Structure 1
């Protein structure tokens, strides 16, 4: 079985499977699981649970089934149960661990992190790295876990290893900067970003230079680089526009930010993240009606990745506008879709008094 938790007996079984196994079990014949995952993606939790129950009754692939049930539990905030199911999923895998097993271990470690069980999470990342010694993501995530237990030296070592495995990954460096800054090591984080600008990488794009400058607080430089990036033919425009607008917001120039977002959306309207940021910017200027329209336009695109933020921000816009009745109606919809959001629970209580 491919359980990666770092416990001596478990690791011996896992290594034995590596030596003796002939490959992962088949995951064919899992129609109910697939349907359940589709419901899960749409936040239809009761329907997803019913599908997983049907899959269990039909004897569908156990590893995939328990993994899927763990994802459902994780979404619902049932972290202890999620861990049990992820472990069952890994235990049901026979043979050489495959990509799905590694993904499941990442889910397992993340769930430990959400419970504040950082040592257990570190054990999982240790076991992943024992098999995948060049996994930059595992080093990065283990670094985050070590920061959480005040092992700053160990965290920085892991971050450095992650960066060495991905020398041109500037997004990774920004994530490390954010993590270090949030835990009281901003100078270490700034040193990483400054090194990016000083490394004379001839392949560093204007967008990447703009990103680094933005997080270093050099807003004028960031804006200059990002304006150049926006005019480049082969550059993906959405992330450039998002950050360019944020440079304006950061300097209090909301009219510039709104103009940047609206100009882009007039040409490429299929970007819920830009609608979301436009709406937030409009809230800041007191244009609550415009904000609602922006959030609704984003929601109309049906992006599961951004629907949660868009819906909550629309509720906020209605609250600021004093339309508590509509905010309350939308909050009921939100709470049904995201029942484990404790902040929303408190907001629902507040709305009930309006």
Structure 2
């Protein structure tokens, strides 16, 4: 079938597609707000209320599709996103582009790379020189086993936007994950050689990290950490990872603790700190770090923090507490098959 097209905006795309908050969309707006805070069941409940209230079905199907996608229910996501496109007014707009991006992502999650590619084919046919669409189509082609087509699309994406270093790093990761790390490294090195005069210290630090130049990465990242206008959290996480990569957990812990002393509002950094403490055998310290992260109620990290806290108690040998926490975890994340198996193990201890 022919797919309507979508602007490929990665996972940071705007959820309402520019429609704004209009009269008669109260429940729809609530649903998208819940998606932004990672409360997907509440989002689905809001979209059900929206349907009962006679609100816009195009947005309702779209919202449900996104909620199902992020919940890991990919079949339902495809059905809802297709319904959203089918119920639209026939005029291709930014929201149609955006909805199709989610649709392609759902196809990829289902392992249907050819269908995802067809969506990106349609984007490129209408949008032309859209570097993001070429990158995304490349990932689908590479995942399907078509290395040459994927590499060709990656090359086109880079040629269109050679200073988009974030996408270049994503291309490296995609190649590395599919067994072509040498090609990815070559792309990174070329970008570093040609663009060092244009890159920020953070971008140089990232490039150096993935190139395996750890000392250079630390130097650039330390400089970036001290820059006034640089967002600090991603710098600190990667700087700590330079230590983790070498097994220098004391250094990583020092980096994370220094940051948290200045800004104790990062659940991500608390999680990184806790994982390092586990590796050092400081299980009590790890539990405290995970609890501090959980207290921040960052919906995107609650699941990981809860599971890592359980793991810390297991390493500690406190299987009773771990089992109790696992019951609570599964009451919220019942579809986590790995956790279900782990719960069976805990029940035998």
TM-score of the superposition, structure 1-length normalised?
0.87
How far apart, in 2, do the equivalents of 1:228 and 1:42 lie?
32
Pair 353,104 (structure 1): closer, same or farther in 2 beyond 3 Å: farther
Alignment partner of 1:305 out of 300, 309, 325: 300
CA contact (8 A) 2:294 2:305 kept: yes
Mean Cα deviation higher: 44-53 or 105-114: 44-53
SS class of match (1:199):
helix
Deviations 1:11-70 (A, max 9, x none): 6xxxxxxxxxxxx99964122223334445556555444332222122110101111222
2:245 is matched with 250
CA contact (8 A) 2:39 2:299 kept: no
Pair 197,316 (structure 1): closer, same or farther in 2 beyond 3 Å: same
How far apart, in 2, do the equivalents of 1:46 and 1:201 lie?
45
CA contact (8 A) 1:75 1:340 kept: no
2:272 is matched with 277
1:180 is matched with 175
Pair 164,332 (structure 1): closer, same or farther in 2 beyond 3 Å: farther
Q: CA deviation at 1:169?
A: 1.9
Mean Cα deviation higher: 292-301 or 343-352: 343-352
Residues 72-111 of structure 1 aligned to structure 2 (within 5 Å): 72-111=67-106
Deviations 1:106-139 (A, max 9, x none): 1111111111111111111111222222332222
Pair 78,247 (structure 1): closer, same or farther in 2 beyond 3 Å: closer
Q: CA deviation at 1:284?
A: 0.6
2:288 maps to 1:287? no
1:260 is matched with 255
Alignment partner of 1:113 out of 82, 93, 108: 108
Q: How many residues align?
A: 336
How far apart, in 2, do the equivalents of 1:174 and 1:45 lie?
30
Pair 59,119 (structure 1): closer, same or farther in 2 beyond 3 Å: same
Q: CA deviation at 1:341?
A: 2.5
Alignment partner of 1:68 out of 63, 75, 90: 63
Alignment partner of 1:133 out of 120, 128, 131: 128
CA contact (8 A) 2:290 2:306 kept: yes
2:339 is matched with 344
1:237 is matched with 232
Q: CA deviation at 1:242?
A: 1.2
CA RMSD of aligned residues (A): 2.3
Q: CA deviation at 1:94?
A: 0.8
Which consecutive residues of structure 2, in runs of 5 or more, have no partner in the other structure? 5-18
TM-score of the superposition, structure 2-length normalised?
0.89
How far apart, in 1, do the equivalents of 2:22 and 2:91 lie?
14
SS class of match (1:137):
helix
CA contact (8 A) 2:205 2:218 kept: yes
Pair 46,237 (structure 1): closer, same or farther in 2 beyond 3 Å: closer
Q: CA deviation at 1:200?
A: 4.6
Which consecutive residues of structure 1, in runs of 5 or more, have no partner in the other structure? 1-6, 12-23
How far apart, in 2, do the equivalents of 1:43 and 1:202 lie?
39
CA contact (8 A) 1:140 1:159 kept: yes
CA contact (8 A) 1:44 1:337 kept: no
Deviations 1:157-201 (A, max 9, x none): 111122223222222111111111111111110101111221154
Q: CA deviation at 1:346?
A: 2.1
Q: CA deviation at 1:263?
A: 0.8
